[in-house]
Amino acid sequence: MTSAPSTTALDPQTVRGDFPILATRIGDSPLVYLDSGATSQKPQAVIDAEVAFLTGSNAAVHRGAHTLAADATELYEDARAVVAGFVGAEPEQLVWTSGATAGLNLVAYAIGNATLGRGGAEARRFALAPGDEIVVTETEHHANLIPWQELAFRTGAVLRHIPVQDDGMLDLEAAASVIGDRTRVVAFPHVSNVLGIVNPVAELVALARAAGALTVLDACQSAPHLALDLPALDVDLAVFSGHKMLGPYGIGGLYGRSDVLEALPPFLTGGSMITTVTLDEASYLPPPQRFEAGTQPVSQAIGLAAAVRYLDEVGMDAVHAHERLLERRLRDGLRSVDGIRLLGDAPAGVDRVALSAFDVDGVHAHDVGQFLDARGIAVRVGHHCAQPLHRRFGLTASVRASASLFTTEDEIDTFLDAVSGVRGYFGVGR
């Protein structure tokens, strides 16, 4: 990292110098990147870390006795320790995955394997019987919904959901009735990727604990923006993706309480996750290696560790404080534009990240996106892999603007000015 501040105040102009892509122009306009909720941009420190490994230490990890292999293994496991520490975990509690989707599928399939009797006596507590219940929310990204649909199909379990209110808040009164004696898994997002609302983790975990259910947290939209301590949140398992938190593609993390990871049977199998193999059976390594079959994402893990070091140096409290200012400016500005409907416009005081999804009356989201792109403004349009949530609000698509630590207030104003001209440009509302 070259110049990001280490004080509690974050200067986005200083930070921006660390992100080469932000100098890009789209046609005649400077890039205004408001699509960090989909994927974040990468600071030079992350790019340099991957290049340095590939040009100076590239070798297979945990397999060779030569110098390069030893160096690569040390860098790889050091990266695990750095990223684990970022979320408050111990290194052995962090499983490398290719992303949050892979982590969620790993958990769902491991539970399915436990249901089939794999994993022995320790894994029986995860086994599902017909009529057992898996609880999700109406706000889920498809990655935290479809794996549970499939697990319910394979096991005869019943999938239930916690509804969302008109203001975007989860209905906790309904949650208390949905989570009950038959609930075995409660999976939910820390932050909705459409609404930007920080969900009440403590309340949901308490309901799950009272029912004896396993808790699974989707932390994709919180890890880049909030100081995370997953053990303190008391969740059993959690996932996050590197590419959303300034890191490379193809890398993510699955956090698990030690007793949970030690009891779960593996999902993917092959090399690197075994102790003894005969032609008839195999014995598996303890976690996290038990869940890391095959070729490891070495350069990606090292790149993610560089991203975490960068965020640590800036300071997550400073990141959150800066982004809260952006969130208020963004949301207040959108409220002031005629014909804009915000999704999940929760009351003041509700904690959020700097992410807002909205509908423009009379103009399709894709047309809004093209209008903004012609002015150099990058946003996300569509259902954001959350079709049930959009259906809840009577929509098939929305426009989503999502900021990051490098976003400036001037960029938010540029975006708001452009949005205010959308309906007039398309001849709507005259």
Q: What residues are labeled active site? A: 385
How many Å from the N-terminal Cα to the C-terminal Cα in the chain? 50
Q: Around Cβ 312, how many Cβ atoms within 10 Å? A: 15
Among 366, 383, 390, 312, smallest CA distance to 38 is for: 383
Q: What tokens does 184 get?
A: 């075995």
Distance CA 31, CA 68 (A): 40
Distances (CA, A) of 258 to 90, 230, 298, 317, 425: 9, 12, 23, 28, 56
Q: Is 97 exposed, middle or buried (0-12, 13-18, 19+ CB in 10 A)?
A: buried
Please answer whether residues 150 and 108 qualify as being in contact, where contact means their C-beta atoms are separated by less than 8 angstroms: yes
> What's the CA gap between 407 and 418, in Å, rounded?
16
CA distance 130 to 155: 6
DSSP string, 185-223: EEEEESB-TTT-BBP-HHHHHHHHHHHT-EEEEE-TTTT
The residues with which 137 forms a beta bridge, in sequence order, are: 162
> Is 123 in a helix, a strand, or coil?
helix
d(CA 216, CA 104): 8
Backbone angles phi, psi at 30, to 5 degrees: -65, 145
Helices 298-314 & 67-86 angle (0-180, nearest 10)? 40
| 22, 221, 253, 261: CA torsion to nearest 10 | 170
**Coarse DSSP helix, strand, coil percentages of the chain, rounded to the nearest 5 percent:** 40, 20, 40
Point out which residues pair with 95 in neighbouring strands.
254
